[in-house]
Amino acid sequence: MEPVRPDVMGAERAAIAAEQMVPLIEAMERELGPEAAHRIVQDAVRTQAQGEVRVHLDRTGRSKRVLRAMAEPHAPACDVEYIEGDKSRFDFDVVGCRYAELYHGLGRPDLGYLLLCQSDEWAAEALDDVTFERPSTLMQGGDRCRFRYGFADPA
């Protein structure tokens, strides 16, 4: 799915979404309970993330290019350290993240993880030839977000 406002990117887009989504999810939590509310949000975010993957995959045809294209709009909001590897790997650490700062500041890093971080998992899930591990995130209190991608077809 193409973004409605492609001129609004990264942290600015996240701040606008947080303004709208945090109160909405909190109302859903009160009405439905946190578990049901989060399940509904997860389903919506999964559908959106996997739709984005399909759009990029149609354009690029390669999983590694899809991941890079999807990460590009977030680059200004993240301080990234790339890890040298071979063609079968794409590994990096995010050591600073304005998204995590935003949601920690709102006192709702759990919603930041739900709305933003989990979409990385679901995006990778939509790519058949990709494995993904992220043992820690800043949103969940880690010292960094460790992104570890492996490719069955490293071309």
- What does the pLDDT read at residue 34? 97
Rounded Cα–Cα distance for residues 97 and 74 (Å): 9
- What does the pLDDT read at residue 75? 79
Q: How does DSSP classify residue 4?
A: S
Residue with tokens 């790519």: 127
Instruction: Return per-residue pLDDT of the chain as tens, 155 residues.
Output: 444 544 545 677 778 888 999 999 999 999 999 999 999 999 999 998 899 888 888 887 777 777 877 777 777 889 999 998 888 888 999 999 999 999 999 999 999 999 999 989 988 888 888 899 999 999 999 999 999 999 887 65
Domains and CATH numbers, the chain: 10-151 (3.30.1380)
Closest by CA to 144, choosing from 79, 72, 69, is: 79
Q: How does DSSP classify residue 103?
A: H
- What does the pLDDT read at residue 131? 92
Rounded Cα–Cα distance for residues 125 and 131 (Å): 8
Rounded Cα–Cα distance for residues 114 and 38 (Å): 7
- What does the pLDDT read at residue 10? 63
For the beta carbon of residue 124, count every other beta carbon within 10 angstroms. 22
